[in-house]
Amino acid sequence: QSVLTQPPSASGTPGQRVTISCSGSSSNIGSNTVNWYQQLPGTAPKLLIYSNNQRPSGVPDRFSGSKSGTSASLAISGLQSEDEADYYCAAWDDSLDGHVVFGGGTKLTVL
Amino acid sequence: QVQLVQSGAEVKKPGASVKVSCKASGYTFTDYHMHWVRQAPGQGLEWMGWINPHSGGTNYAQKFQGRVTMTRDTSISTAYMELSRLRSDDTAVYHCARFYNFWSAFDYWGQGTLVTVPS
């Protein structure tokens, strides 16, 4: 059971906008920034969003992040087939002596 | 360019230990903490802990305390993760990941090392 809660799956058609939620608590999302990682099949995770809503260089602006209270969201607009991947949220957790916690992951299917 | 290159796949018997290496290049090894994250087949990401390559200080997830040891060799810019008393549920891909403090995020990942512990 993951500390951060994500829906196990999400789907959309090309061009659509999809959102993935990540729910935590006051000790993790409520007091720390949230990062999102994209994992394409058979590859290592890749940083997609850091500090709640910042994109590393090279990440398309179709990807956006937000945070409110103890929840965060990843939005993907103009969905493309290559966006089909697993998405994970992550944050530090102050109640666990400075440990990192991940969400269980959301498998995004592009129909 | 930053690269983290990990050692090859391993098959270990239950009760044995495994040591995975992660060789860093393209940046100053001692300037960034190195974390380890594992992923069991078909499962999500699980954080294991970190090592400060500068001081050698470590911080391990409670679940792995007593079984995991993270070390480094600064002369060859390599971090190591050793897991002992292996069980079948330790079968997973183990990744090293560089922690970029300014972003508070893992900005580079190793390709992963599959460790298989047959039941």
B106 vs A47, A54, A104: nearest CB: A47
Instruction: Please enumerate residues of B whose Cβ is less than 8 A from a Cβ of A.
Output: 35, 37, 44-47, 59, 61-62, 95, 97, 103-107, 109-112
pLDDT digits (tens, 9 = 90+) for B26-75: 999 999 999 999 999 999 999 999 999 999 999 999 999 999 999 999 99
Backbone dihedral region for residue A55 (phi beyond 0: left; psi -120 to 50: alpha; all else: beta)? beta
Helix, strand counts (H, E) of chain B: 0, 11
**Which residues of chain A does B110 touch, with a Cβ-Cβ cutoff of 8 Å?**
44
The residue with greater pLDDT, B62 or A96, is B62
Q: Cβ of A54 and B107 within 8 Å? A: no
The token pair that represents B68 in the structure block: 């995991």
Cβ-Cβ contacts under 8 Å for B9 (sequence gap 6 or more): B113, B114, B115, B116
- Percent of chain B exceeding pLDDT 70 equals 100
Count of Cβ atoms closer than 10 Å to residue B69 Cβ = 17
Q: What are phi and psi of B63, to 5 degrees?
A: -60, -30
Instruction: Give me the pLDDT at residue A95, please.
Output: 86
Instruction: Give me the pLDDT at residue A96, please.
Output: 74
pLDDT tops 90 at residue B111: yes
Instruction: Give me the pLDDT at residue A1, please.
Output: 83
Band of the pLDDT at A97, cuts 50, 70, 90?
confident
Band of the pLDDT at A25, cuts 50, 70, 90?
very high
Q: Cβ of A99 and B105 within 8 Å? A: no
Q: What is the DSSP track for B66-110?
A: TTEEEEEEGGGTEEEEEE-S--GGG-EEEEEEEEETTTTEEEEE-
Instruction: Give me the pLDDT at residue B118, please.
Output: 96
Instruction: Give me the pLDDT at residue B88, please.
Output: 97
**Which residues of chain B does A39 touch, with a Cβ-Cβ cutoff of 8 Å?**
45
CB B34 within 8 A of CB B51: yes
Instruction: Give me the pLDDT at residue B23, please.
Output: 98
Q: Cβ of B45 and A50 within 8 Å? A: no
> Measured between alpha carbons, how far is B25 from B75 in angstroms, rounded to an integer?
12
Q: Cβ of B45 and A46 within 8 Å? A: no
Across residues A46-59, what is the average pLDDT? Answer: 98
Count of Cβ atoms closer than 10 Å to residue A27 Cβ = 17
pLDDT tops 90 at residue B89: yes
Across residues A23-46, what is the average pLDDT? Answer: 96
Cβ-Cβ contacts under 8 Å for B5 (sequence gap 6 or more): B22, B23, B25, B110, B111
pLDDT tops 90 at residue A84: yes
